[in-house]
Amino acid sequence: MSENTDIKLVEAPDGISGAGFFATSFEKVIGLARKHSLWPLPFATSCCGIEYMATMGSNYDISRFGSERPSFSPRQADILMVMGTIAKKMGPVVKQVYEQMAEPRWVIAVGACASSGGIFDTYSVLQGIDRVVPVDVYVPGCPPRPEQILDGLMRVQELAENESLRRRNSPEYQALLASYNIK
Amino acid sequence: MELTNENVLGKIISKFGEENIWDAFNPDGIMTITTNRESIHELIKYLRDDEELQISFLTTMCGIHFPGQGDKEMCMMYQLHSLRHNYRIRIKVFMPASDPVMPTMTDLYATANWMEREAFDFYGFIFTGHPNLTRILNIEEMEYHPMLKQYPLEDQTREDKINTYFGR
Amino acid sequence: MATENKKVELTDLEQFRLDNGLALTEEPQLTTLNLGPTHPATHGIFQNILQMDGEKIVDAVPTIGYIHRAFEKIAERRPFYQITPLTDRMNYCSSPINNMGYHMTVEKLLGITVPKRAQYIRVIMMELARISDHLICNSILGVDSGAFTGFLYVMQEREHIYDIYEEVCGARLTTNMGRIGGMERDLSPKALHLIDEFLKRFPKVWAEFEKMLTRNRIFIDRTTDVGAISAERALSYGFTGPNLRAAGVDYDVRVMNPYSSYEDFEFEIPVGSKGDTYDRFLVRNEEVWQSLKIIEQAYKNLPEGSYHADAPHYYLPPKQEVYRNMEALIYHFKIVMGEIDAPVGEVYHSVEGGNGELGFYLISDGGRTPYRLHFRRPCFIYYQAYTEMIKGGQLADAILTLSSLNVIAGELDA
């Protein structure tokens, strides 16, 4: 029987191992698990959404990163991926979707419009979604290439892996949410 | 009958009279005529229902703002198309900004519904008889009609645009 | 007088109600259902507040404007050449058609005639865009009726179209392709090779995709008579493009008012009969074949010559010239700084976009920016018929109708 060398396993975190046991911290194991099963909520409004389709499609294949299940229900989603222009009319909807997500939750602003309003510096466009929700990763580009979107996802993976379990309870984090008027 | 600018204009003028149809010109191969608010509804109905013309497809309509033109400040443009004869015509109606009231075309063309709502949203045209004349693209709470020339394009809430950065 | 005692036939439901002491007729209990603006099955952001009687839609109130970006206002503040990137973002499934439609409008205003070669390159690019637009629409229709495979399969082919775009203009999706006065650069040998490869490979892929759905019993049952619209209503609603042709009207701007040398090519206009979802699917399928035919003809008969018009006032000079030639430097500066005055005029030009007649109505007052630029956006115009098309149908059918109409949010809200 030939050994299949294509399968890659993640490296075990640091810890103490001996005969029949392996001891490490809880935080590291949970971080590892979270990192590889981030379910995105594709909040696609315009052009960048089409590039997300390409990212989801067979050539770029986002499922290689454990995100093959786009969770359209905010309750089960881990990352909110806001892709495309958010008009002022849409702003409250983004906020509501964010509020419905369970902790821990991350936000990626994909594309120039979601990050800063992009070329649409107009009366009707929200100048960046960070005016209504806190953003973890910004992906530049108009629209970003699928590789860039994947890179953004990997940045969130890094955050998820290294995040302290107690971070979401910290007063800093509560203050951040309070500054956005999110409970 | 082959439709040409001459015979269509002749037919329209013989029906509506010189006093209601004026300023016919041909900027880009599409004849453009101007009429008044009283005749516009009848005119579009006539173009649609006439056996010979059959100009019965409303391609588009939009508002235009000419600030400082007095009685001709607000303009509504209708563009119609006869699919049978492949003939296009453009009709304009001018009115003062203080009184931008027009009859609706929703009873003639179903497509006029949203186009008129858009014109209301952008320019504040009032279409009498429209079933649901509310804002369509902008938020309901908006207090002005943004496409009017006096209003700025840019978002007024940005604080990072400091003139010295741009050499202004 | 003897009264006639009629025997009344009761349905099962009525018998059940009678047996259980319920009233025979009951007022339907309507449920309000909010569909959108971020529903996964609506591709883009459309909100419909539906009144439902069970699974049946009684009424729908659409709300749009969730991605209103004020294109028309921006266009009044930008020099002519800076408006092309806006058109990209209008219908992002078929950006080159938007770009070139706008370029042709401005050329009409400026009175520039574009050489034959540039026109043929434009035709190739526009038809590729039409293919990529129809390909998404039809494969998404498959996804919504439960066939994900087709989507993944043709998405791969769309990447090949994007490869061609990238070779021609450097971008994948928002192409900003070409310039006022022609193309920005000639087709490189690599681009020609990619087009050739595409023409060889794509028919097989598309035939397989068609085979999967066109004669598929489930797909036919799901789509026939769903979201049908008659030709009269469609015309009254201002339908154009594939959706109108599915209803049986053979209106196509490419034939009616040929632009960019479309009169040189042999192709047919597919027409449906019922105007339902299945007809729309078939019309788009056939249009892909016709587009392939056009690309093949344009590719084979690509004329020699320049790829842009000789219009130094409006067309950017090549960069090498800018460094060496005083005149070129001046033109370059004036064009880039937006200091070129356009003549006074008023033009309307329309092209056959992915979804129908895409029109540009441009008024110039002789300044450096358009005085008014109005876009006739086909999606905006026909989406208002959606309410009428889904009334009385099932909720699941409303989703299929929406995807077969191919409403693009960016074009809808401008």
Q: Which positions in chain A touch C148 (Cβ < 8 Å)?
A: none
- Selecting from C69, C155, C172 the residue whose C-beta is nearest the C-beta of A85 gives C69
Residues pairing with C61 in the sheet: C49
A137-139 and B21-25: which strand pairing?
unpaired
Closest partner residue to C374 (CB to CB) among B60, B137, B139 is B60
Question: Cβ A88–B146 below 8 Å, yes or no?
Answer: no
**Is the CATH number 3.40.50.12280 carried by domain A39-161?**
yes
Taking the C-alpha atoms of residue B11 and residue B78, their distance in angstroms, rounded to an integer, is 19
Q: Show the domain range for C232.
A: 79-413
CA distance B81 to chain A (A): 31
CATH code for the structural domain at B5-151: 3.30.460.80
Establish if B149 touches chain A: CB-CB under 8 angstroms: no
Please give the residue of chain C at the shortest CA–CA distance from B88.
Answer: C348
Residues 6 or more apart whose Cβ sits within 8 Å of residue C65: A87, A89, B135, B136, B137, B138, B139, C413
- Torsion angle of C-alpha atoms A13, A15, A18, A19, degrees rounded to 10: -40
**CA–CA separation, A57 vs A51, rounded Å?**
10
Q: Per the CB < 8 Å rule, is C155 touching A54?
A: yes
Nearest residue in chain A measured CA to CA from C87: A47
Asked if A127 has any chain B CB less than 8 Å from its own CB, the reply is: yes
CB-CB neighbours of C163 under 10 Å = 16
Alpha-carbon gap: C212 to the closest alpha carbon of chain A (Å): 18
| Minimal C-alpha gap between C328 and chain B (Å) | 26
Residue list for the binding site of A: 47-48, 113, 142
Model confidence, pTM? 0.91
Q: Is residue C404 part of a domain?
A: yes
C38 vs A145: CB contact, 8 Å cut-off? no
Domain boundaries, chain A: 7-36, 39-161
For residue C201, give the CATH number of its domain: 1.10.645.10
pLDDT tens, residue by residue, B50-79: 988 899 999 999 999 999 888 899 999 999
* Res. A66: pLDDT tops 90: no
How large is the ipTM? 0.93
Distance to chain C for B62, nearest Cα, Å: 7
- The letter for the amino acid at B74 is M
Interface contact A181, partner B, CB < 8 A: no
pLDDT in tens, chain C (414 residues): 445 555 667 777 777 777 776 666 666 678 899 887 877 666 778 889 999 988 889 999 999 989 999 999 999 999 998 999 999 899 998 999 999 999 999 999 999 999 999 999 999 999 999 999 999 999 999 988 888 888 888 988 999 999 999 999 999 999 989 899 999 889 999 999 999 999 999 999 999 999 999 999 999 999 999 999 999 999 999 999 999 999 999 999 999 999 999 999 999 999 999 899 999 999 999 999 999 999 999 999 999 999 999 988 899 998 899 999 999 999 999 998 888 899 999 999 999 999 999 999 999 999 899 999 999 999 999 999 999 999 989 988 998 999 999 998 889 988
Q: Which residue has the tokens 């030009």?
A: C349
Q: CA-to-CA distance for A139 and A136, rounded, in angstroms?
A: 10
Q: For residues A88 and A117, what is the distance between their CA atoms, to the nearest angstrom?
A: 11
B146 touches chain C (CB under 8 A): yes
Cα(C53)–Cα(C392) distance, integer angstroms: 9
Phi, psi of C16 (to 5 degrees): -60, -45
Q: Is B168 on the interface with A (CB under 8 A)?
A: no
Annotated binding site of A for [4Fe-4S] cluster: 47-48, 113, 142
Contact C202, C158 (CB under 8 A): no
What's the number of domains chain C is made of?
1
Angle at the Cα of B68 from the Cα atoms of B65 and B73, rounded to 5 degrees: 40
Q: Which of C348, C360, C381, C386 to mutate to test the interface with B (most CBs of B within 10 A)?
A: C348
**CA distances from residue C220 to C211, C214, C276, C279 in whole angstroms, order as listed:** 12, 7, 11, 10
pLDDT digit string, tens, across residues B88-103: 999 999 999 999 999 9
The per-type count for chain A, helices as H runs and strands as E runs, is 6, 6
- CA–CA gap between residue C386 and residue C236 (Å, rounded): 13
